[in-house]
Structure 1
Amino acid sequence: MNAHNIDIALVGAGMGSESCLTKEVKNLIDNADIVFGAARLSNSFGDSDRQNVIDTYRVNDMIEKLEEADKDIKAVFIYSGDSGFYSGAEAAYLRVKEWAEEKKKENADLNVNIEIKAGISSVSYLASRIGISWQDAKLYSLHGREYKGRVPEVIESARYNEKTFVLLSGASDVIRLTDEILNIKNVILYLGYHLSYDDEEVMTITSDKKEEFLKGEIKEGLYTAFIQNVSPETKYLSYGIPTEEYIREENVPITKEEVREIVLSKLRLFRGCTFYDIGGGTGGVTVDVAKISPDIKVISIEKRPERTELIRKNIDKFGLRNVTPLTGNATETLALFDENNLVKNDNEYENYVREIIKNNPPDRVFIGGTEGQFRDIIRELKKFGRKIRVCMTAVTLETRNEILKLADEDTVDDLSVVEVNISKLVRLGKQHMMKAENGILVATFQL
C-alpha cells in the first residue's frame, strides 16, 4: 500500500460570513484539497473550481471519501460557530481518530494528522454587539434539540441568573422562548438574527413589547438569544418552601414545611431522576422537588380533579416546566405501566397517562396519601422492575400499622422509620406556648 499523509482539520467558521473567519481557518480552507460541510458553509467557503467541495455534515460520509485517497491529501471539515461550543467537531474528532487508528493497522506507512481549530462563537459576537461580557453567563443550546426537553433549564437560569445565552434553531424557537421568558419579572431579551451577515439584526424586547413582537413578522433563520435579568431571584439551596407561599384551598391537605424538609432529604434525589408524588394534594412536595432542579422530572398523581387543578395553579405560580400533573386513582394509574395493559383504547386521557407512565418510570417516590391502597401501590411500583427509593408519611394508626408490618416482612429493603413531632410557637394573650401538632411517621425503603 502507498505511503501517504492525510491531514484533517476540523474548523469553526464563526457565524457564517467570511469576515468572521480567523486567518488560520481561512488558510486551512484555501489550501485544502477537499472541503466538507453543510451547504451553507461548504459552498460559501469552498472553491469548486479547484477543490472537491462536498455538501455533507455526516462524519461517515467524510470518512468514506477519505477512504479513496491513495496520495497526500488535505481535508477540512467546516462547522458553524466555535468548534468547542455545541459543535459537531468533538464527536467528529473521536470518530475520525478511531478510523485513523484502524487504517494505521492496515497500512503502517499511512499518516493521519487530525487537528481542531477554533472559530468565533455567536455568543461572543452577540455579547460584543450589545456591549456586555459573557464570562459569567449560563450557556445553553436549543439548536437542533427538542425545545421542550431543555427549556426548563433555560427558564430556571433566566429566573436566577443575570445572564443567559441560548442558541436557537429558528423562528419557532424564538416565538416560544419569547412567550415564556418574558413572563419572568425584570427580564430583557436580546435576539441576534443572521449575525455577521449583511441582513444582521439585533433586537431588544421587553415584557411590554412582547405582544407587539409576537404579532409581527418573525423571519426564519439563525438566531442567538441573550437573556438579561436585571434583578434575578435568589435560589435557596435548602428544602422547604414556606407553606404560606402556596395557593391553598379549604380542606385540601399539604405536607407540612418541616416534614417536607425531612422527606426531601430522605429521598436522596439526584439530577435527571424521575420523581412521583402519589397523593399530590395541594402540590407541596411536587413543587418543592421540582424547584430543586429543572433536570428532575416530576409526575404528580392526584385522585380528585379539583385538587389536580390546585396543583396546576401552584405549578404556574412557581413558574415550573418540569412537572406533569395526572388525575386518577394511584393504583390504577401505576397499573398502566403493566406490559399486559399497554394496548391503547378509545379513552384519550388514559392513553395520554399510559404514555407518560411508560416513558417515565420512577426513580424516587413519595406516598403522601394511600386511601387504604398502600399494599396495592407497592405491588404496582414493583412491576416497574427497577430500584425505586420510596418515602412515605403516616398519621393514622391504620397506615402506621401497615408500615410497621414491613419490618416483619421481606417486602422491601433498607426500611428506616422515624417519628417526627413538631411543636410551634403560638400566642395566648400576652403569653406564648409551644403547641404540639400530630406526630408523623416517616418511613423510607427500597424496592
Structure 2
Amino acid sequence: MSRILIFAGTTEGRLLAEFLNRQKVQAYVCVATEYGGQLLEENKYLEVSHTRLNQEEMQHLIAEKKIQMTVDATHPYAAEVSANIKGACEETGCEYIRLLRSQTHISEESMVCVESVDEAVEFLKQTKGNILATTGSKELHKYTAIPEFADRIFARVLSTPEVAEHCAALGFTGKHLICMQGPFSEELNTALLKQFDARWLVTKEAGKNGGYEEKIRAARKAGARVVLVGRPVQESGLSLEEVERYLVEKAGISVRREISVIGIGMGSRENMTCEALKACQYADLLVGAGRMLEQVQELKKPVFVSYKPDEIYDYVMSHPEYEKVALLQSGDLGFYSGAKKLMEKFAGEEILVYPGISSVVYLCDRLHTAWEDVVLTSQHGRYVNLISKIRKNQKVFALMGKGSAVNELCRKMREYHMDQVILHVGQDLSYPAEKIQSGTVAELENENFSDLCVILAENPQPDQVVTHGLEDEVFLRAKVPMTKSEVRSISLSKLHLTKDSIVYDVGAGTGSISIEAALQAEDGYVYAIEKKEEAVELMRENKKKFAADNLEIVEGLAPEALEELPSPTHVFVGGSSGNLKTILELVLKKNPQVRIVINCIALETVAEALDCVKTLPVTDVDIAAVSVGKSKEIGRYHMMMGQNPVYVISCTGGKAE
C-alpha cells in the first residue's frame, strides 16, 4: 500500500488523518504547530511532526519516507505553503492531492467584502465601534494601524503560550486578548459579540469546518456587521469526502463501517428516544425516507433519501468516506419494518440497533388500553386477510398504508354484518395534525382519512370456533349439491391445509368446502370454480354470511377457468364435468408438488380418478371409501338413513424415485 503524507493545517486535515488511522492505514502527518500535533495522537499508524518545512525539506521527506501520495490540507490562506508542497511533489514525482475546505456562500447585504486583512484594516480605520477580530495571530500586527486599536479591538487567537506572548507584545492584553481553541458555536460567538459590544466582526471565509456559518449567524443576532476577507486565490481540488473516497479506491483500503439501524418512532422529533437521536448526531450520513429525514435536518448531516435496501446498500458502498451510517426506519425495528432486509444487506458490517416506539404502543396508550392481547398485522404493501383476523379476535391492530383502505375495510365489514365492531383510526400519529377517530363501521365508512394511518379494531363477540366440520344446516343450500359435513371433514383433513394455502375448489357447488378452507387458510386464498349460475349466486351469499374475505368465486368451466389463476398449493375436485385428467394435468403443471383431493360418487368418476393417479406424476396415493349414516326421527324412533358412499382419493404431485 502506498505511504501517504498529509500536510494537516486544517480541521479537514486532522479528520483525514483520523480516518486513515481508523482504517489502519499508515500515514505521515505534518502540522504547522506543536499545538496542532497535540490534537493528533501518534501511534503505529500515524507518525506526526510539527516542524515547519520549506520546499527542499519537503522534497527530502517525500524521498526518505518513500511517499507516493501527498495530501495538501493546509489552510486556504496559506498560499505560499501550498505552492511549496506542490513544487516538492512535482520535483519528486509524487502524486499531489489538494484537499479544499468547502466554501460557504451566504448572501448578506450588510457584509463588507475585502480581499485581504490589509484592505480590512483600511476600511476599519474609517469606522467607529468595537471590533472582534478572528483572523488569527499571524496578521494581527496589521490591526495596530487602526486608531485606538488597544481599546477597540478584541482579538481571538489560539490558546498557546507562544501566541499569547506574541499578541501581548503587540499591545493586545487583558480582556482584549481571547485565547481559545475552536470550533466555536453560534451561541458562544453571539455571547462574545454582545459581551464586548462589538459593532464589527472580521473573519475569513474559512468554510463549514472553520466555523464560518456560525460566525455569520451570530453577527446577525448580535447586530454586528461582518467584514469578510475573501480567499486569496480560487483553487481547484477535492473535498474531504472526495479525498477519502479517492484514497480508498487508489490505495485499496477496506473500509470498516458502523451501521446504525434506528427506529425513530411515529415520525416526530419528540417521539425519538434519546439514544436514537444521539446516534443520528454522531453519524456521518443519514439515510431514510423524506419524512424521516425532515425530523433530523437541523443536524445538518449529509443525507441520502431512499427506503429501498438495494439502493441504500449501493450508495453506502460507493461512498466509503461515510464510516458511521444511520439508517432511519419509522416506528420500531421489529414491527413490519424494512430493518430486517437492511440488516441482511449489511451483514458483515458492525451493526448497532436502536429500537423505537411502535405505532401500536403509541395508539393503545392514547386510547388508555392495554396492547398485550392485541393481534398485530399490516396490510401496508402486502395482502392480509384483515376481515378474518377481526372476526376471530377481540383486538386487532393493523398498519393500513392508505386512508382509503380504512373506507374499504368499513365497507367490507358492513357487507359481512360485522356491525358490532368498534374501530379506532389513528392518523398522523405524533405529528401536529394527529387525529384519533372512534366509531362503528357505519359511522366511519364515509370519513376522509390521512394516508399515514393505523387502526385498532375491537370485536366484543369474536368467533371462537377453531376446527372444521360446520354443520350442514348453517350453509345456504337451495337445490345445489353440497359435500356433507362428515365427508367434508375427512376431505379437508386429507388436504393438509396450512394457514397460507392457495386453494382451488373445482366444482364448488354451495361452496361448503371453499368456505371452510378459507376459514382455515386465513393468510391464504381460495378460488371457488363453479359453472352453474344458481350455485354461483348461492356461494356469494354464503361468502357474505361467513365473512370469507379471502374467497374469490370464479364462474366458469375447468380447466379453462383455472388458466389465469395463481399457482395452487392445494386442489379439491368435487365435480369435473368429465375433465378430471386435463384439470389435474394443468394444476400439476402450475405446481408439480400440489396436494390434491378428489371426491367421487359415481363409479365412472372413480375409474377416471384411478387412471389419473396411475398415469400422472403423483405420489402418496390414498383411497378412502366413506359411508355415513345419519339418524332421522320417525315417530318416537331414531332410524339410521344411509347416504351415498363417497370415495375420497388423495395424492401429492411428484413421483417417488
TM over 0.5: yes
Equivalent residue, structure 2, for 1:29: 280
CA distance 1:286–1:58, shift in 2 (3 Å): closer
AA partner of residue 243 (structure 1): D
Structure 1 residue 142, shift from structure 2 partner: 2.1
Distance change >3 Å, CA 54–CA 361, structure 1 → 2: closer
Q: Distance in 2 between matches of 1:62 and 1:399?
A: 57
Shift, 1:197, TM fit = 1.6
Which of residues 168, 171, 176 in structure 1 aligns to 2:408? 176
Query: What does residue 140 of structure 1 align with?
Result: 377
- Structure 2 portions without partners, runs of 5+: 2-19, 23-255
Match of 2:541 in 1: 313
Secondary structure of residue in 2 paired with 1:425: strand
1:117 paired with 2:354, answer yes
Q: Per-residue CA shift, 1:179-237, capped at 9, x if unaligned?
A: 234542421100111111222111102134135xx1x4x1434112111112212132x
Task: Render the CA deviation track for 1:273-325: whole Å, top value 9, x for unaligned.
Answer: 22111111111111111111222321111121221111111112111121221
Structure 2 distance, partners of 1:445, 1:68, is 55
Q: What does 1:12-91 correspond to in 2, within 5 Å?
A: 12-47=263-298, 49=300, 51-59=301-309, 60-61=311-312, 64-65=315-316, 67-70=318-321, 73-91=323-341
The alpha carbon displacement at 1:39 in A equals 1.7
Correspondence for 1:159: 391
CA distance 1:362–1:293, shift in 2 (3 Å): closer
Q: Match of 1:239, as an amino acid? A: H
SS in 2 for 1:47: helix
3-state DSSP of counterpart to 1:426: strand
CA contact (8 A) 1:13 1:20 kept: yes
Describe the shift of the 1:307–1:41 C-alpha distance in structure 2 as closer, same or farther (beyond 3 A): same
State the Cα distance separating 1:67 from its structure 2 match.
4.1
Q: Deviations over 1:352-383 (max 9, x none)?
A: xxx3x2xx122222221233333443344444
Residues 376-407 of structure 1, C-alpha deviation per residue, up to 9 Å, x if partnerless? 43344444361232222222232233345567
Larger Rg belongs to: 2
Q: How does 1:91-240 map to 2 (within 5 A)?
A: 91-98=341-348, 100=349, 113-143=350-380, 145-146=381-382, 149-150=383-384, 152=385, 154-181=386-413, 183-211=417-445, 214=446, 216=447, 218-236=448-466, 238-240=467-469
Asked whether the 8 Å contact 1:282–1:310 carries over to 2, the reply is yes
CA distance in 2, matches of 1:439, 1:427: 22
Contact 1:63 1:96 in 2 (8 A): no
The change in CA–CA distance for 1:73 and 1:326 in structure 2 (over 3 A counts) is closer
| Inter-CA distance 68–442: structure 2 relative to 1 (3 Å threshold) | closer
Q: TM-score, normalised by structure 2?
A: 0.57
- Report the CA distance shift for 1:163/1:374 in structure 2 as closer, same or farther (over 3 A): same
**Is 2:561 the counterpart of 1:333?**
yes
Which residue does 1:344 correspond to in 2? none
In 2, Cα distance between the equivalents of 1:323 and 1:232? 20
Contact 1:29 1:35 in 2 (8 A): yes
Paired residue for 2:260, among 1, 6, 9? 9
56 and 366 in structure 1: CA distance in 2 versus 1, 3 angstrom threshold: closer
Unpaired runs of 5+ in structure 1? 101-112, 338-354
CA–CA distance in 2 between the matches of 1:435 and 1:265? 24
Query: Share of identical aligned residues, percent?
Result: 32
The superposition leaves residues 337-362 of structure 1 with CA deviations (integer Å, 9 ceiling, x where unpaired) of 3xxxxxxxxxxxxxxxxx3x2xx122
Deviation larger for 396-405 or 252-261: 396-405
Q: Is the 8 A contact 1:89 1:116 kept in 2?
A: no
Indicate yes or no: 2:606 matched with 1:400.
yes
Matched, 1:444 2:638: no
In the TM superposition, what are the counterparts of 1:238-317 in structure 2 within 5 Å? 238-250=467-479, 252-317=480-545
Compute the displacement of 1:3 (Å): 4.0
CA offset at residue 91 of structure 1? 1.5
Q: Is the 8 A contact 2:498 2:520 kept in 1?
A: no
Q: Counterparts of 1:202 and 1:407 in 2: how far apart (Å)? A: 58
- Pair 1:423-2:624 in alignment: no
Q: What RMSD in Å do the two structures reach over aligned CA positions?
A: 2.4
The 1:393–1:64 alpha-carbon spacing in structure 2 relative to 1, beyond 3 Å, is closer
- Between the two proteins, the alignment pairs up a number of residues equal to 399
C-alpha contact 1:29 1:46 (8 A) present in aligned 2: no
Q: Distance in 1 between matches of 2:616 and 2:277?
A: 69
Mapped partners of 2:290, 2:612: distance in 1: 64
Inter-CA distance 202–332: structure 2 relative to 1 (3 Å threshold): closer
Q: CA deviation at 1:75?
A: 2.7
Offset of residue 36 of structure 1: 2.0
How far the C-alpha of 1:270 sits from its partner, in A, is 2.2
> What TM-score does the superposition give when structure 1 sets the normalisation length?
0.82
The structural deviation recorded for 1:410 is 6.8
Matches of 1:377 and 1:44, distance apart in 2: 57
Sort the Cα spacing of 1:43 and 1:380 in 2 relative to 1 into closer, same or farther, 3 A.
Answer: closer
SS at match of 2:411: helix
Partner of 1:345: none
Q: 1:380 to 1:85 in 2, by over 3 A?
A: closer
Q: Which has the higher contact order (CA 8 A, sep 6+)?
A: 1
Instruction: Indicate yes or no: 2:612 matched with 1:433.
Output: no
Residue identity in the other structure for 1:180: K
Residues 1:88 and 1:446: Cα distance change in structure 2 (over 3 Å): closer
Q: How does 1:367-382 map to 2 (within 5 A)?
A: 367-382=573-588
